[in-house]
Amino acid sequence: MTAVASHTKAQSSAATPPPGVAPPLTLIGKQLLALTQDRKLIQTLRQVADPAHEVYAAGSEIDLAGALMAHHTGVVVLDVAALATSAGQLAARLHAQFPDIVLIVAGGAEDQVALSAQITDGSVHRFLHKPVSEQRVRLFVEAAWRRHAEGPGGPAGTAAALTARVPRGAKWWLLAAGLAALAAPFLWVGLNAPPTPLRPAPATAGRAAPPTDAALEALLARADRALAAGELVAPPGASAADLYREALRGNARDPRAAKGLEQTIDRLVSDAEGALQERHLQDAQQLADSAHAIGPEHPRVAFLLAQIGAQRERLVLDKAHHAAATGNVAGALAALEDATRGGRQSTVVEQARQQLAQQQVDERVAEAVRRGREALLHGQLIDPPAESARFFIESARALAPGDPRVQQATQEFIARLQAEAGKALSAGNPDQADSWTSAAAAAGAQRADVAALRAEAQRQRAGGKADSLARLALSFNERLAAGRITDPAADSAKFYLAQLLQADPDHPTTQLARTAFDTRVLDEARGALRAQDYALARRWLTEARAAGADAASIAGVETAIGAAQDQAQRASYVSASSMTRTHYVEPQFPLDARRRGIDGWVDLQFVVNTDGSVGELTIVGAQPVGIFEQAALDAVRHWHYQPVMRDGQAVSQRARVRLRFAMQR
Q: Are residues 43 and 173 in the same domain?
A: yes
Q: Considering the domain boundaries, does residue 488 fall inside one?
A: yes
Q: Are residues 520 and 578 in the same domain?
A: no
Domain of 142: which CATH number?
Answer: 3.40.50.2300
Distances in whole angstroms, Cα of residue 57 to Cα of each of 53, 54, 67, 76: 13, 10, 9, 10
Q: Are residues 391 and 411 in the same domain?
A: yes
Q: Considering the domain boundaries, does residue 51 fall inside one?
A: yes
For the chain, residues with pLDDT lower than 70 are 1-30, 69-71, 151-212, 327, 338-346, 348, 568-571, 665
Q: What is the largest CA-CA distance in the chain?
A: 175
Across the strands, what pairs with 554?
Answer: none
- The neighbour count for residue 410, using CB atoms within 10 Å, is 21
Alpha helices in 71-123 (DSSP H): 87-97, 109-114, 116-121
Q: Are residues 527 and 418 in the same domain?
A: no
Q: Are residues 542 and 602 in the same domain?
A: no
Confirm if 177 and 69 have CB atoms less than 8 A apart: yes
Backbone angles phi, psi at 56, to 5 degrees: -120, 150
CA–CA gap between residue 495 and residue 479 (Å, rounded) = 10
Domain of 656: which CATH number?
Answer: 3.30.2420.10
Backbone angles phi, psi at 557, to 5 degrees: -65, -40
Single out the residue of 176, 47, 43 nearest to residue 101, CA to CA: 176
Pairing of strands 126-129, 102-107: parallel
Q: What's the domain count of the chain? A: 5
Structural domain ending residue among the three candidates 571, 595, 627: 571
Backbone angles phi, psi at 613, to 5 degrees: -75, 165
Distances in whole angstroms, Cα of residue 7 to Cα of each of 80, 92, 141: 21, 26, 17
Structural domain ending residue among the three candidates 537, 571, 605: 571
Q: Considering the domain boundaries, does residue 453 fall inside one?
A: no
Name the packing angle between helices 240-250 and 281-294 (round to 10°): 10
Q: Are residues 158 and 278 in the same domain?
A: no
Q: Are residues 475 and 567 in the same domain?
A: yes
CA–CA gap between residue 215 and residue 123 (Å, rounded) = 50
Q: Considering the domain boundaries, does residue 517 fall inside one?
A: yes
The pTM of the full predicted model, rounded to 2 decimals, is: 0.33
Q: Are residues 44 and 119 in the same domain?
A: yes
Single out the residue of 573, 577, 587 nearest to residue 637, CA to CA: 587
Could you tell me how many helices (H) and strands (E) the chain has, helices first?
26, 13
Rg over alpha carbons for the chain, rounded to the nearest Å, is 58
Total residues belonging to the chain: 665
How confident is the model over 207-243, as pLDDT tens digits?
A: 444 556 888 888 999 989 999 998 999 899 899 999 9
Q: Are residues 612 and 523 in the same domain?
A: no
Q: Are residues 500 and 633 in the same domain?
A: no
Q: Considering the domain boundaries, does residue 218 fall inside one?
A: yes
Q: Considering the domain boundaries, does residue 589 fall inside one?
A: yes
- The neighbour count for residue 127, using CB atoms within 10 Å, is 19
Confirm if 641 and 580 have CB atoms less than 8 A apart: yes
Q: Are residues 530 and 595 in the same domain?
A: no
Pairing of strands 574-575, 126-129: unpaired
Pairing of strands 102-107, 73-79: parallel
Q: Are residues 281 and 425 in the same domain?
A: no
Single out the residue of 98, 54, 57 nearest to residue 78, CA to CA: 57
Domain of 275: which CATH number?
Answer: 1.25.40
Q: Considering the domain boundaries, does residue 138 fall inside one?
A: yes
Q: 374 is in which domain, residue-wise? A: 363-445
- The neighbour count for residue 169, using CB atoms within 10 Å, is 9
CA–CA gap between residue 105 and residue 127 (Å, rounded) = 5
Return the SS3 of 640.
strand
Give the DSSP letter string of 284-307: HHHHHHHHHHH-TT-HHHHHHHHH
Q: Considering the domain boundaries, does residue 8 fall inside one?
A: no
Omega of the bond prior to 235 within 30 degrees of 0, cis?
yes
CA–CA gap between residue 141 and residue 106 (Å, rounded) = 12
CA–CA gap between residue 265 and residue 274 (Å, rounded) = 14
Single out the residue of 92, 183, 81, 84 nearest to residue 130, CA to CA: 81
b (16+ CB within 10 A) / e for 320-355: beebbeeeebebbbebbeebeeeebebbbbeebbee
CA–CA gap between residue 461 and residue 463 (Å, rounded) = 6
Omega of the bond prior to 167 within 30 degrees of 0, cis?
no
Pairing of strands 574-575, 653-661: parallel
Structural domain ending residue among the three candidates 186, 221, 246: 186
